[in-house]
Amino acid sequence: MCIMLTTASGGNVATSICNAVISNMAGILVTPALLLHFFGTSIQLPFVQMVGKLCQKVLLPVAIGQALRATKAKEVYEKNSKAFKRLQEVILLGIVWNAFCTAFTSGLGLKFHHTLILLTLLPALHLGSLVFLFKFFSIKTLGFSRDEIVAAIFCASQKTLAFGLPLINTIFEGNPNLASFVAPLMFIHPLQMTLGSILVPRISKYTSGDKKI
């Protein structure tokens, strides 16, 4: 999501890709560590087993992909890059579709007024974070260019369903409130895509030289 929005807004794509990869890989260790730090023994958190499962679900596929780049598979990919990119989009769409189907089949575990609160609060928080991040990364002492600022605000504010879903499922596996934990991520994914798409034309003008967004 952050790479797509950065590209559409004329931001620094290389920066967004680097940040997306680093943050996703760091999340494998950082997220369980933060939960262990804040909740301690108040929740059952098998840290080692959890990190092992996350590595199997996230790190292993990445490692296999990087290893294949050293073989002739890279040439096959480069010759059929458009087809593989479309396949990547279809797989991601399948993950999102499966998540939504599972959620609505088994229920989100939320009452109606809780759902309304989430649908009101999440867009407000997301827009607020975009404004704050833009102001922060625009500080002159940081020395960021406009395309880097655009990449930074999208990378720092976006939450990915493709990584977040297996993360939550692994950490809270077997928890009766799992559906409720997943619900905010299910809502924020389409919301941030919609809000980001609306803001893209305005941000593109800023990237191309306008003084303000």
pLDDT of residue 94: 78
User: Quick one: tokens of 125?
Assistant: 């928080």
Mean pLDDT of 130-143: 92
End-to-end CA distance of the chain: 20
* 29, 51 Cβ separation under 8 angstroms: yes
pLDDT of residue 212: 58
Mean pLDDT value across the chain: 81
pLDDT of residue 130: 92
Q: Is the pLDDT at 211 greater than 70, yes or no?
A: no
pLDDT (tens digit per residue) in 65-112: 888 888 888 888 888 888 887 887 787 777 777 766 766 666 666 777
pLDDT band at 135 (very low <50, low <70, confident <90, very high): very high
pLDDT (tens digit per residue) in 8-58: 899 998 888 888 888 877 877 787 778 777 776 666 666 677 777 777 777
pLDDT of residue 42: 60
Mean pLDDT of 162-182: 75
pLDDT of residue 118: 85
Q: Is the pLDDT at 126 greater than 80, yes or no?
A: yes
pLDDT of residue 106: 62
Please give, one letter per residue, the 3-state secondary structure of the chain. CHHHHHHHCCCCHHHHHHHHHHHHHHHHHHHHHHHHHHHHHHCCCCHHHHHHHHHHHHHHHHHHHHHHCCCCHHHHHHHCHHHHHHHHHHHHHHHHHHHHHHHHHHCCCCCHHHHHHHHHHHHHHHHHHHHHHHHHHCCHHHCCCHHHHHHHHHHHHCCCHHHHHHHHHHHCCCCCCHHHHHHHHHHHHHHHHHHHHHHHHHHHHHHHCCCCC
The pTM for the full model equals 0.73
